[in-house]
Amino acid sequence: MSDSNGQGGPLAGLKVVELAGIGPAPLCCALLADMGADVIRIDRAAPSGLGIPRAGKTDVTRRGRPSVAIDLKNPKGVETVLRLVEDADALIDPLRPGVTERLGLGPEDCLARNKRLVYGRMTGWGQDGPLSQAAGHDLNYLALTGVLHAIGPRETPVPPLNVVADMGGGAMFLAVGLLAAVHEARNSGQGQVVDVAMTEGSAFLAMGCFGLIAADYWSDQRADNVLDGGAHFYRCYETKDGRHVSIASIEAKFYAILLDKLGLDPADLPDQMDRDQWPAMSERFAALFKEKTCDEWCEIMEGTDICFAPVLTFREASNHPHNAARDSFVEVDGVIQPGAAPNFSRTPSGIKGGPPEMGAQTDEGLAAWGFSADEIAALKAESAIGQQT
């Protein structure tokens, strides 16, 4: 089903210029667009070499906003972006430090045209520091914060996809920082630069762990702590059919229900928080969970206060009754994907459409931001806009 509801959303009226990138910046812009912001994406006029499809309905983080192709090496293309900036609340820069300055689109260039502009910069290492010019990816940013060291079995750290640093520490912190700065700019009349580093966002997400370390309640050994799979009551178990279930019965009252459903008598067991007994208890639980299939355990445990859920694949998640009841996943242009989130009671978000072909709305996108048909034709004649082969 489509989630395009045609309503404005809580960010209706917010105008954002997005310079094309991959990973966290597009996800942030998809979030803003779902919430009603008017986001215009500036894609390259020539093949980008980004290693991603140039078009396609499956490139879902590009959903919900028009794609305008502009040649940023053409002075008239740069001037086109600066004109968009004049009418924008924010610009999102996903490039390495210094790149937009060399293009003539750096913070000073843009703030000179719009003093209220919020200039959001999205990088892994931040705008300064010894590593600021080095390439990197999610795994590297997590490695530098201590987070990666804590994830995985005892033998080796494990990459937790790219959802922690890129999307959590990056996209979400960019969205919060940008909206906070826009709010301030509407009060002060002055814009500013928001420097978002995925390293710092990732470390912030792990703030609670740093507190546990300070309290001497966290071991640097992986799979040795309550939250990293070391505890028998907070980990995943394989079932009879080769699938897995997740158990997170931390609180004593939830642990008591777990034991009851497993047919175990607490009087015959060590104390829940006896760390020395965790490995043996994990082995005992593992044997029990292998006695039934995943569906059978769901019948016994799902919906109780055990803190239980089956471990679903991406393909399975949209069909789970809870997710289906909340429309947590939607179908747009034949592609199943997460729906708009979070939910708002009065100004609901909505997906405005799937990802467009790159540069497909150059004319319409610029027209919606105040360019006349003659101006658009003149820019095309100068090869400043539109896809170039």
Residue 300 falls within a domain, yes or no? yes
One domain for residues 141 and 26? yes
One domain for residues 194 and 281? no
Residue 315 falls within a domain, yes or no? no
One domain for residues 271 and 334? no
Residue type, 201: G
Residue 320 falls within a domain, yes or no? no
Query: Domain count of the chain?
Result: 2
Residue 133 falls within a domain, yes or no? yes
Distance CA 272, CA 276 (A): 10
pLDDT score for 196: 98
Residue 210 falls within a domain, yes or no? no
Residue 145 falls within a domain, yes or no? yes
One domain for residues 79 and 191? yes
Residue 220 falls within a domain, yes or no? no
Q: Which residues of the chain have pLDDT under 50?
A: 1-6, 50-52
pLDDT score for 387: 83
One domain for residues 187 and 50? yes
Q: Nearest 5°: phi and psi at 237? A: -130, 140
Query: Which residues are catalytic, by number?
Result: 137, 166
pLDDT score for 6: 43
At residue 19, the 3 state secondary structure works out as: strand
Cβ atoms of 65 and 41 closer than 8 Å: yes
At residue 232, the 3 state secondary structure works out as: coil
The CATH number of residue 191's host domain is 3.40.50.10540
Q: Which pair of structure tokens corresponds to residue 301?
A: 């445990």
One domain for residues 339 and 280? no
Domain range for 170: 15-205+327-381
One domain for residues 182 and 286? no
pLDDT tens digits, one per residue of 316-369: 999 999 999 999 999 999 999 999 999 999 999 999 999 999 999 999 999 999
pLDDT score for 213: 96
pLDDT score for 8: 83
Cβ atoms of 10 and 347 closer than 8 Å: yes
Distance CA 83, CA 352 (A): 25
Residue partners of 122: CB distance under 8 A and separation at least 6: 21, 24, 25, 28, 92, 93, 94, 170, 171, 174, 196
Residue 98 falls within a domain, yes or no? yes
Report the candidate in 180, 182, 163 with the shortest Cα–Cα distance to residue 171. 163
The CATH number of residue 275's host domain is 3.30.1540.10
The position carrying tokens 């990138």 is 21
pLDDT score for 46: 72
pLDDT score for 4: 42
One domain for residues 80 and 49? yes
One domain for residues 114 and 185? yes
**Strand positions, DSSP E, the chain:** 15-19, 38-44, 67-70, 90-93, 118-123, 192-197, 234-238, 244-248, 308-310, 329-332, 335-338
Cβ neighbours around 133 below 10 Å, total: 12
